[in-house]
Structure 1
Amino acid sequence: MGNNDSHVARFKEYLYSTFHIKDLGPPKYFLGIEIARTDKEISLSQRKFVLEIISEAGLSGCRPVVIPIEHNIKLMTHEYDLHSSTSNKDPLLRDSSGYQRLVGKLVYLTMTRPGICYAVQILSQFMHMPKESHMNAALKVVRYLKGCPELGIFLSRECDMGMTAYCDTDYATCPMIRRSITGFCVKLGKSLISWKTKKQSIVSLSSAESEYRAMTKTT
């Protein structure tokens, strides 16, 4: 890739003389990512990948939901839940491979779907010993995707090279270790170029402290 057509053409000629390759032109589909171009923007989506996830989860005929995860959901590991009165009502999955495979695909999907980053960050904490509640939460994300499989990232050609960042924190949301979760996104002009959701490394003693930590991480 480059902005000098003559240099790109010379480099292609060098590759042709060295390797047996074929120029397929601008990419349209790469590693599950669908690429659509217009004169004003490039859109990246994983619609086909989303439909495969929905089909594999057996939710092709389900009713979609409008949010990927319940508000104030409190998911815990099996170790923290052993002494709880609800531990018998929320048993471990007999086969964890299905949960691990599903969450792994959702992690890959966050490359073009920043809206599910928060939910996937929570679900990825229980890969080693998932419970039924964890699987139900993961399936809710799939039901959310069913309602909007075509969403993705739009990269606009109109750009003033101004960078804008937004951040937020969910204070002490982890029911096990009371750490806050930082979420941020960065835009270059009108285009979203970076996003992340991650648990903070230490416990914040106030919501203001957790907000400052989120700002520091974003910066």
Structure 2
Amino acid sequence: MKDLGNLKYLLGIYVFKSKDVLLLNQRKYALQLISEVGLSGAKAVSTHLEFNYKITSVEYDQYIGSSNDLELEDATTYQRLIGRLLCLTITRPDICFSVQVLSPFIQHPKTSLWEAALRVVRYIKRSLGLRVLLKKGTESTKLIGYYDSDWASCPNTRRSLTGYMVKLGDFSISWKSKSTSQ
């Protein structure tokens, strides 16, 4: 074994540690993602998804006879982008919901889904400074859990949506939202 000194980078995550603070961010990774997608010159947006944005599957569009939103010819670009966004959620819990909404369509992505994923990247461009900040404190050992559900609210399947979040002190340590069968 070899001592490499204080930890600075780990799996693309910048780590800053002081006496009372631990800071984690992926600014370099986010800048690389923005550049690879080709949005370096694009205008940033203040929200990660449009308000009341309805996402539908290819099967649903075929069922209702809609043909204005075509399936992408090459699904790998969408799959790669969603995978990169998933990696970014480690230090960016603000985009977790958007990525969770876009990821079920990874096998058959449509043009509208690609545009929605690019909007998430444009949101990241606006908020590059966001990071996870962990502080020492007296409340750091208090464990709090939240749970919520919404009956039959998924527009595609009419399944119920549930979600939870667990906090240790002021910091989120676990969260998930999912569609459940009725």
The answer to whether the superposition gives a TM-score over 0.5 is yes
The 1:172–1:74 alpha-carbon spacing in structure 2 relative to 1, beyond 3 Å, is farther
1:135 maps to 114
**Alpha-carbon RMSD:** 1.6
1:123 maps to 102
Q: 2:39–2:122: 8 Å Cα contact kept in structure 1?
A: yes
Deviations 1:184-212 (A, max 9, x none): 3222122222222322x223xxxxxxxxx
Deviations 1:81-129 (A, max 9, x none): 10334x3210011111110000011111111111111110111011111
Per-residue deviation, 1:170: 4.8
Unpaired runs of at least 5, structure 1: 1-20, 204-219
Q: 1:153–1:192: 8 Å Cα contact kept in structure 2?
A: no
**C-alpha distance in structure 1 between counterparts of 2:150 and 2:112, whole Å:** 21
Q: Which moved more, 1:106-115 or 1:76-85?
A: 76-85
Q: 2:144–2:169: 8 Å Cα contact kept in structure 1?
A: yes
Q: 2:61–2:67: 8 Å Cα contact kept in structure 1?
A: no
Per-residue deviation, 1:26: 2.7
Q: Structure 1 length as normaliser, TM-score?
A: 0.77
1:31 maps to 11
- SS of the residue aligned with 2:3? coil
1:192 maps to 172
1:111 alignment partner AA: I
**C-alpha distance in structure 2 between counterparts of 1:54 and 1:178, whole Å:** 34
The 1:170–1:66 alpha-carbon spacing in structure 2 relative to 1, beyond 3 Å, is farther
Q: Which has the higher contact order (CA 8 A, sep 6+)?
A: 2
Q: Structure 2 length as normaliser, TM-score?
A: 0.91
Number of residue pairs aligned between Structure 1 and Structure 2: 181
1:131 alignment partner AA: K
Q: Select which of 114, 130, 146 maps to 1:151.
A: 130
Per-residue deviation, 1:171: 4.5
Deviations 1:144-176 (A, max 9, x none): 000011212111111431112233345533222
Unpaired runs of at least 5, structure 2: none
The 1:183–1:47 alpha-carbon spacing in structure 2 relative to 1, beyond 3 Å, is farther
2:59 maps to 79
Per-residue deviation, 1:138: 0.3
2:78 maps to 99
Per-residue deviation, 1:41: 1.2
The 1:100–1:171 alpha-carbon spacing in structure 2 relative to 1, beyond 3 Å, is same
State the percentage of identical aligned residues. Answer: 46
1:180 alignment partner AA: S
2:81 alignment partner AA: L
Q: 1:78–1:131: 8 Å Cα contact kept in structure 2?
A: yes
Please list every run of at least 4 consecutive aligned residues from structure 1 whose deviation after the TM superposition is greater than 6 angstroms. Answer: none
Q: Does 1:62 align with 2:42?
A: yes
**C-alpha distance in structure 2 between counterparts of 1:27 and 1:76, whole Å:** 44
Q: Select which of 7, 17, 22 maps to 2:2.
A: 22
Per-residue deviation, 1:55: 0.6
Q: Does 1:52 align with 2:44?
A: no
Per-residue deviation, 1:54: 0.6
Q: Indicate the structure with greater strand content.
A: 2
- SS of the residue aligned with 2:165? strand
